[in-house]
Each structure stands twice: as C-alpha cells, then as structure tokens.
Amino acid sequence: MASGKTLKLAVYELLQFTGLCATVLVIMERFARLISNVEGCDSTAYWLVVAVSVAYVTSATLLVWVPLKYQILKRRRLTDKITHWRPTALAYVILCTLPCFAILIASSQVQVNSGMRLDHFDELPVSLVMFSLICVDLVERIRPCRLLGQADSVDLNFDLPGPVLTHLEAVSSVSSQLPSDEAQQNGAPARQAEPGNKTVAPRRGHDVAGRSTPLSSRASSVAYLYSSSSSRHFSHPLGFLGRRDRRSEVFMDCFLFWFDTVEIVRVSGKPEVFYSPWVYPIFILAFLSTLRMVLAPHSPWLSSAGVALQDVPFFILRVALMAVFGLVTPILYLLKNALVSLAFFYFIFMTKMKLFKRRSMF
C-alpha cells in the first residue's frame, strides 16, 4: 500500500498535469470548431486542428514536462538551491497559458478576417484557463504543508520566514547604572542598580540620564500590535471561531492573487472588445502578469513584480479601454491599480527623500 506522502505527491502531479493537458485540448477543440465553421463545416480542418493539439500536448509532455519533473523530484540537491522562483510554474505558464492566450487572439483575428461573428470565447475558455492556472499555483503553495493533523510551525510560516515580534522586556543597561552629570556636580553618590530591579535601556525618545519623552510608550504598543498570540486560541466558548490555519488561508490568498488578472481577461470576452485590435494588449499584458506566479510567495521581488507587471500596465490599459469603450471594466479595479502603485512608489522611494524623512510629520 502506498504511503501518505506518495499518495499526496501523485495527487499533486495529477492535478498539475491535468491542468496542462485539459486546458490546451479544450481550447484547441473549440478553435477547431471555429475553423470548421469558417471553412463551411469542413471536417478535415476540424480534425487537423485536433491532431495538432494532441501532437503538441504529447511533445510538450515528453520533451519538457516529464524531464523537468524528474529533475525536481529525483535530484533535490539541484532544486533545493532554487528558493525564490518555481520552475514548474514557469514551465506551465510557457507550455499552457501562453499557447491558450495565443489561440484566443487567433480566434479573434480569424473571425475578423472572414467577416463572421461566430464565437467570442466568453465564459468557458477564460474560466478554464484561469482556473487551471490558479490550481497549479495552489498546488505549488500548499505542497510544503501537511494535509493531515494540525499545522506545525513550518506549515504556518512557510511563506513568511523570519522571527515575529511578540513582546518586549525591560533589560538593564550599563548607561543606566552610570551616575548622571547632574548628580556628579552636586556631589551626590551614584545610585547603584539593585539586584532585583530592572531599568529600561535607553532607546529612541530617552536620553543618557534616563529621562523619558512622549515616545517612551510607543515601543510597547508596537510590540503588542504585531503580537500573534491572540490569534491562536481563546478562552471564550466561541473561541473555535478565532482559530486560524495557514493551510486554509492559502486557498483564499491564491484566489485573491489572481482576481485582477481574471477580470482583465474577462474584459476580452465582450464582443465589442474581442473583435477589435484591443484584444492584443489585453492578452499580452495578462500573460505578463501571470509571470508573477514564477516567483515564490516569500520572494523579495514579488512586490516589485506585481507593480511592474500588473498594477501599472493594467491601470494604463483600463484607462484606455474606458476612453474607447466606456465602462467595460469595473472602476474598483482601476482604483486598486492606482492605489497600489502609488503606495508602492511612496513607501519604497519617496520616503527616502529628505522631505519625507521628518519624523514630526503625522
């Protein structure tokens, strides 16, 4: 009988491989029906496109997918050094997402050139492509976690490495035991620190003599602000409602990560947009935004990639689409792109300027 780890590995690999094959085959089959209708219900054109799709899936599986999976699963010494990006995600984006977006663009141009309006690929193709992409990303995110039992510390922090500030303790310091200048001038004896007492070390908002300023209570408030102890268990009868598990939260995080890309791709399903040249920038920018999946969730470049590959290009694209077609995309996503981009440039670059380094402001 197969072990639990082997069974989990088989399920993960089967899900990713199914997302790769099924998405391409379904999109190509719908494109084959479109070509057949354009050519006057020609069955030869239909089966030719289907044969090409089967040949492509077989070649991509045998030449790229299987060798890559062998290197990842068998030779862990080489893959363990890869921590900030994911080779499987890169292979999936190139082998599946890129061809599917190219087929959708080709479908638009085939109908425009033939002067026919048969299929604008509205719901099923777009939802299937994006759902398969989300599933592959979800498998990569949840792969380090256990599926049975409670999550351990690795499961809870697999994408948030590093210590977490929980509380501060007062410690004694050498400077607090030294006599102050005023005491030395008056001839008063230096006060020694008693063994049982603790004095607070000088920090921002304190001088050498230990005189406190209005900033003295800020450290303790910040410490409890970032404390995570309150999110574990409660003594209240409804305390089970406050329990958290990172394994369930990763599902929500994964879908939220892709909602903006899903919405911009769904804009192309509108007939007035699908049969226009605007289908090119929509799918090109959507594909560039999918490249963020290549980076690991804890990668330091993920935030910059999100702004450069998604928020700034999507903001410009949405403004142009609204100017040409009207409200074809929700204003909420436009505001999201604008606010995220402004917040990124402000906190990363503008706060380093001399004008914004003044601590007395706000």
Residue-wise pLDDT for 117-145, tens only, equals 887 777 777 888 999 999 999 999 988 88
Give whole-number Cα distances, 318 to 88, 345, 354, in Å: 31, 20, 34
Residue 130 near residue 258 (C-beta atoms within 8 A): yes
Per-residue model confidence (pLDDT) at position 65: 94
Is 147's pLDDT higher than 50?
Answer: yes
Q: At what angle do helices 124-142 and 246-267 cross, to 10 degrees?
A: 150
* Cβ burial, residue 101 (10 Å; 0-12/13-18/19+): buried
CA-CA-CA-CA torsion for 24, 30, 33, 37, nearest 10 degrees? Answer: -130
1-26 pLDDT per residue, tens: 457 788 888 899 999 999 999 999 99
Q: What number is the average pLDDT over the span 213-238?
A: 49
Which string of DSSP letters, residue by residue, matches 309-324?
A: IIIHHHHHHHHHHHHH
pLDDT of the residue at 216: 47
Q: Give the model's pLDDT for residue 75.
A: 73
Residues of the chain with pLDDT > 90: what percent? 41
Average pLDDT estimate for 229-235: 49
* Res. 79 pLDDT band, cuts 50 70 90: low
Which of 258, 35, 11, 256 shows the shortest CA–CA distance to 129?
258
Instruction: List pLDDT tens digits, range 287-342.
Output: 999 999 999 888 889 999 999 999 999 999 999 999 999 889 899 999 999 999 99
Residue 203 has pLDDT above 80, yes or no: no
Span 258-295, pLDDT tens digits: 999 999 999 988 889 999 999 999 999 999 999 999 99
pLDDT of residue 1: 47
Would you state the pLDDT for residue 360?
Answer: 55
pLDDT above 70 (res 208):
no
Mean pLDDT of 155-182: 49
298, 161 contact by CB (below 8 A): yes
Rounded to the nearest 5°, which phi and psi values hold at 226?
-100, 10
pTM of the predicted model as reported, rounded to 2 decimal places: 0.74
**Residue 127: what pLDDT?**
87
pLDDT at 53: 94
The whole-angstrom separation of Cα 29 and Cα 291 is 26
Structure tokens, 235: 């003594």
- State residue 98 phi and psi, 5-degree precision: -60, -50
Q: Please answer whether residues 303 and 344 qualify as being in contact, where contact means their C-beta atoms are separated by less than 8 angstroms.
A: yes
Higher pLDDT, 23 or 207: 23
What are the beta bridge partners of residue 85? 295
Q: To the nearest whole number, what is the mean pLDDT of the chain?
A: 78
pLDDT at 64: 94
Range 153-170 average pLDDT: 47
Higher-confidence position of 360 and 81: 81
pLDDT at 164 over 70: no
- Give residue 205's pLDDT band: very low, low, confident or very high (50, 70, 90): very low
Share of the chain above pLDDT 70, in %: 71
Q: Which residue has the higher pLDDT, 243 or 361?
A: 243
Looking at residue 231, what is its pLDDT? 44
Mean pLDDT (whole number) for 154-168: 46
Nearest to 146 by CA among 302, 8, 319, 284: 8
pLDDT at 4: 75
| CA 153/CA 165 separation, integer angstroms | 15
Q: Which residue has the tokens 């921590």?
A: 83
Crossing angle between the packed helical segments 312-325 and 246-267, to the nearest 10 degrees: 40
Mean pLDDT of 151-156: 52
